[in-house]
Structure 1
Amino acid sequence: MKVTTKRLKATSPLSTDYSLHKLFMNQLREMIWSKRLFSKTIPKLIHNISSPNLIFIMNDHAAVTRNQIIRLQKALELNDVKGKGKKCVVIQALINKSKSTLEYTEQGPVRDAAIVANVQKIEHYSIAAITTLIEFGKVLRKDAIVDLLSKILIEEKQTDIVLSEAAYNTINFDAAIDENKFLASHYYRRKTH
């Protein structure tokens, strides 16, 4: 059995002249593109949410996301790179999934649960991507950029926690409507101190 290998093209991101710095910059540009696209999507999601608590959480996250875009622009400027983003097909697919959820769910608790699930998928991808960027930045000694990215990572993790708590405390229970059409959450609310 003969095994053949293909030579990498010079334009391939994996070619031998592709440096870690270039990889870092390209992924940073993908992150800013992703945040900009998600920032445009959040208001559409909020418009379709019925839970007042989830509306509050998503409005807060919209403001956080706008600040993250500013930090990412600063990170690019620190490397003399214009704030132009680079398309990220993964985030685009996740956002498209979020939008399609609106087509097959009715306004109410089930749609709220679906929105939380989709937003958390976006957050999880962002957490992984930012963690990788931080590690690249440490190796490249881009301390100022690592600091900016670390703040974003903390915010992303906090958003994920807040969404999980909202889902657990009410949203998922409300989506599990009982036979009598009463919202199940009034049976399961946890006591707060």
Structure 2
Amino acid sequence: MPMKTVQDLFIHDLSDTYSAEKQMTRSLPKMARAATNPELQAAFEAHLEETRAQVERIEQVAEQCGFKLKRIKCEGMEGLIEEATSLIDQIEAGPVLDAALIASAQKAEHYEIAGYTSLCLVAQKLGFQEAVSLLKETLGEEQATDQRLGTLAEAMQIDEAQAAA
């Protein structure tokens, strides 16, 4: 069905983001299992719980706005997950893989941050104030996760990764 209005676009983008979050709930456990750094494992596990809550929040937004989510697949997130899975398959467990997992996770976080930033703006323009509040809550979580991943990356012993090569 063609999108003719900004509300149609909002529903499409919200549905796309819903798909992205659902995909992440399946990907994060694999990333946690692949990580060797205990703090990184814990970060992935914690974000999995946040992501499950984010899925529920999107369902709340759709309900509050009075529309049904579309059944679509987020191709952008699918590509990011495929890339991370490929790295898991190609790199031996250890500091190099941990560095690759952090980079992959940050790419996904940046993708989600961009999506939620846009959703907040459009929801604001459409007058969906309650939705804006829920979407901003998730945006804040995504930004905090990106920050945690960045801190982990900075704390990593790059010398360990180099020595493992």
**TM-score, structure 2 as length reference:** 0.94
Deviation per residue, 1:37-94 (Å, 9 max, x gap): 1111111111111000101111111111011111011011112333454211111101
Rounded Cα–Cα distance in structure 2 between residues aligned with 1:144 and 1:68 = 15
**What pairs with 1:1-193 in structure 2 (closer than 5 Å)?**
12-13=2-3, 18-170=4-156, 172-177=158-163
Q: Secondary structure at the match of 2:68?
A: coil
Of the structure 1 ranges 164-173 and 29-38, higher mean CA displacement relative to structure 2 is found in 164-173
Specify which structure has the higher proportion of helix. 2
- Go from structure 1 to structure 2 and tell me whether the alpha carbon gap of 1:23 and 1:175 turns closer, same or farther (over 3 Å shift): same
**What is the alpha-carbon distance in structure 1 between the residues aligned to residue 157 and residue 106 of structure 2?**
14
5+ residue gaps, structure 1, are 1-10, 182-193
SS of alignment partner, residue 41 of structure 1:
helix
Q: How many residues align?
A: 164
Indicate the percent of aligned positions where both proteins have the same amino acid: 30
In 1: Cα distance, 2:6 partner to 2:68 partner:
19
Partners of 1:81 and 1:172 lie apart in 2 by: 48
Aligned-residue Cα RMSD (Å) equals 1.4
SS at the partner of 1:130?
helix
- Whole-angstrom distance in 2 between the partners of 1:70 and 1:128: 19
Quick one: structure 1 residues 46 and 146, their matched pair in 2 at CA, closer, same or farther if it must change by over 3 Å? same
Structure 2 unpaired stretches of 5+: none
Larger radius of gyration: 1
SS in 2 for 1:82: coil
TM-score w.r.t. length of structure 1: 0.81
Q: Which has the higher contact order (CA 8 A, sep 6+)?
A: 2
